[in-house]
Amino acid sequence: MKKSIFFILLIVVSFAQAQNRKSKGDDYFFSYAYDKAIAAYEKDMGKGFALATEQKLNLADAYFMTKSYKKANELYLQLFVNNVKLGDKRINRLFRSLEQTGDVQRVKELMQHDSINLSPQLIENMEFNNDLLFDDVAQVNLDFNVFDIGGNTAKEDFSPTFYKDNLLFTSARKPLGKKMDAASAGYLDIFEGEIKEDGTLSNISGFKAIKNSKYHEATPYFSEKLNAVFYVLSNTFEGELEFDEKGKNALSIGMQRIDGDFRYLWRDLSTSFYYPYYDERTGRLYFAADFGDGYGGTDLYYVTTNNGQVMSAPVNLGPRVNTFGNEIAPYLFEGTLYFASDIFYGLGGMDIYKTEVTDNDTYSIPVNLGTQINSEKDDFGFIIKNYGEGLLGYFSSNREGGKGSDDIYGFLVDEKPGLKTFVLNGQIKNSNSGSGVAEASIALLSLDGEVLKATKADADGNYRIEVPWQEGITVEVFKDRYSTYLQKYSQEEMEGLQTAAFNPTIALYDDLVTEKEGQKVIKLRKFFFQRGSSKITPEIAVELDKAIEAVKFFPNMQLRIETHTDSRGGSATNFRITQARSDAIKKYLIANGMPASNILYSVGYGEDKILNNCTNGKFCLEMLHQQNQRSLLVILNDNILFD
């Protein structure tokens, strides 16, 4: 059986097993000899010996580790229904073994069980990735060229990293010229190879820039800015393994400056640290570890550093990234965090995922990179960089067809790999002020009208939303007492939307309307027709355009156009001129884009509704007469517009 490198690294965490065992299966199990452990436990049961609960858990784990998924899930389920606490790690294994045997429905049923508490982020991650993996539209075939690097061996070769123009990686192979005694056999070392033009390796040799011991040096990351290599190594004291009080030897993180000094960055005799990655932009050191209080097995963390020197406590990346499975091998490239996880909804074993990192340290839903990178086995240790006009990357896998337990593969590609998604991010803005609309909702709908995803903007109107790629999409933005933005986009238009911030505008109803004469009207600056005229002047047109815009924002508005005059002149004449003015307003509105169906009435009231005492025969100042000269666009359905 091929072992995942994650479990290879765990082998180095050695425990002193002092107590007597009731079964040889226990010894085999804790020595990672899972096939022999299964045989021993089954032999005991065949003789009529009952296995203790812990031994049954061991046997279920051994079945799982040897890919006997049917037997594994049967035993896990037997223990689960008997109220044995499986813990997060074994719940993940139960779900993975059920998915491997095609019993997805049972997974869905178990997820509803009271004793299994899944975070809302994990459920959302699962549903999103399940939709992606089974969506033909999202399975876009990039112009991939995956190749063997040409330097793999029958031993484990994994965890590549770029080193100047070369590649560093971890291997269990014997370094040329290095004597391997019994004590140092089976430990990991760091190797260096030259990257040829086609991405394959040549001239592979042991990496000489770090001090080599007879124990583990593994999973390097090179920082060009610091001219230093971060890597994991066995805890030692005076050249010998150092153990905690329980007999455990853990892995630490060290930093070796090229042609300089070495120092430990993270060292704890009881906790192992894995896969360091240094982000030169932020000075953060990312790594994987199991502190016992995370979300599952190993979680991803970061610490802030000053030129590599740790300056903070570890910060967990949170439940959007970390699950009750194991997350390892972080790597950042152009705002995208790549990592590996063995969470149950993947393609099998460890899968590589990507998540977009925002400036405020939030993460998008991690997206499976798909079958062009991931396999049914373990895939991890992903790295990528710009190379010529495209991208060059490497990853590790124990997939079928390799030379050893784990092999390194390279790939050349035109764009970032991964299942295709549609991502919008930006700010929802108020059309009047241009400021962000707090907690406005944005939804993406399929062409059939199905809501694919909905989310709310933050207090500043900022949002991010992502769905599997679609053949077309509808964007809807809304908030109570605001207009609704509703627009369909083709696939070609969707490509363009993702190239820059998408900032839809919506209008606050109360910004566009006011109350006059006991009724709600569209808010316009007062305008005047020329004496005896119904001509729409440019000044009047500016105001009427505001009404057209208001109806665009609120297309269900039903309007009555009212025009009034003062008491000067004959009543019949005043009726005629106001009616002509109302009709002129209506004509202009319709000609310039307002649907005729929004205008229910256009009425000229003449001098019937004088607002002051300037009635017939009374002397008034011009300003008082002008109070009676007015045009209103009354909203007839204001009371039901938001029902």
- In eight-state DSSP terms, residue 16 is -
Find the mean pLDDT for residues 151-165.
Answer: 95
Is the per-residue pLDDT at 19 higher than 50? no
Q: Which tens digit of pLDDT belongs to each residue from 268-315?
A: 888 999 999 999 999 999 999 999 888 888 999 999 999 888 999 999
Find the mean pLDDT for residues 101-124.
Answer: 86
How would residue 181 be classed by pLDDT, with cut points 50, 70 and 90? low
Q: Are 374 and 364 in contact (CB under 8 A)?
A: no
Find the mean pLDDT for residues 68-96.
Answer: 91
How would residue 177 be classed by pLDDT, with cut points 50, 70 and 90? low
> What percent of the chain has pLDDT above 70?
94
Please check whether residue 89 lies inside any domain of the structure.
Answer: yes
Q: Are 601 and 560 in contact (CB under 8 A)?
A: yes
Find the mean pLDDT for residues 438-461.
Answer: 95
What number of H helices and E strands is found in the chain? 13, 36
Contacting residues for 110 by C-beta, under 8 A, at least 6 apart = 80, 94, 95, 98, 116
Residues 291 and 412 in one domain: yes
Angle at Cα 352 formed by Cα 351 and Cα 353, nearest 5°?
Answer: 115
Q: Are 167 and 193 in contact (CB under 8 A)?
A: yes
In the numeric block, which tokens belong to residue 379? Answer: 């895939």
Residues 73 and 173 in one domain: no
Distance separating alpha carbons of residues 220 and 192, to the nearest angstrom: 11
Residues 454 and 515 in one domain: no
CATH number of 272's domain = 2.115.10.20
Report the pLDDT value the prediction gives residue 548, as an integer from 0 to 100: 98
45: containing domain: 5-117
CATH number of 620's domain = 3.30.1330.60
Provide the number of structural domains found in the chain: 4
Report the pLDDT value the prediction gives residue 13, as an integer from 0 to 100: 40
Find the mean pLDDT for residues 371-393.
Answer: 92
Q: What kind and span of H or E run contains 393? A: strand 390-397
Residues 473 and 330 in one domain: no
Report the pLDDT value the prediction gives residue 178, as an integer from 0 to 100: 52
Q: Is 208 left (phi over 0), alpha (psi -120 to 50) or beta?
A: alpha
Domain edge (last residue) among 486, 507, 528:
507
Domain edge (last residue) among 461, 479, 507:
507
Q: How does the average pLDDT of the chain come out, rounded?
A: 89
Q: Is 628 left (phi over 0), alpha (psi -120 to 50) or beta?
A: alpha
Report the pLDDT value the prediction gives residue 361, as an integer from 0 to 100: 84
Report the pLDDT value the prediction gives residue 182, as an integer from 0 to 100: 47
Is the per-residue pLDDT at 381 higher than 80? yes
Distance separating alpha carbons of residues 6 and 468, to the nearest angstrom: 30
Residues 251 and 381 in one domain: yes
Report the pLDDT value the prediction gives residue 260, as an integer from 0 to 100: 86
**pLDDT: is 643 or 210 the higher one?**
210
Residues 437 and 415 in one domain: no
Please check whether residue 193 lies inside any domain of the structure.
Answer: yes
Residues 287 and 158 in one domain: yes
Is the per-residue pLDDT at 566 higher than 80? yes
Amino acid at 242: E
In the numeric block, which tokens belong to residue 98? Answer: 């059920």
> What percent of the chain has pLDDT above 90?
66
Please check whether residue 133 lies inside any domain of the structure.
Answer: no
In the numeric block, which tokens belong to residue 200? Answer: 């394959």
Report the pLDDT value the prediction gives residue 17, as an integer from 0 to 100: 34
Residues 399 and 431 in one domain: no
Q: What kind and span of H or E run contains 111? A: helix 104-111
How would residue 16 be classed by pLDDT, with cut points 50, 70 and 90? very low
Residues 502 and 514 in one domain: no
Q: Is 472 exposed, middle or buried, given 0-12, 13-18 or 19+ CB atoms closer than 10 A?
A: middle
Is the per-residue pLDDT at 191 higher than 80? yes
Residues 366 and 228 in one domain: yes
Is the per-residue pLDDT at 332 higher than 80? yes
Helices 69-81/87-100 angle, 10° precision: 130
Q: Which tens digit of pLDDT belongs to each residue from 428-438?
A: 999 999 999 99
For the ranges 173-182, 460-469, 600-609, which has the lowest average pLDDT? 173-182
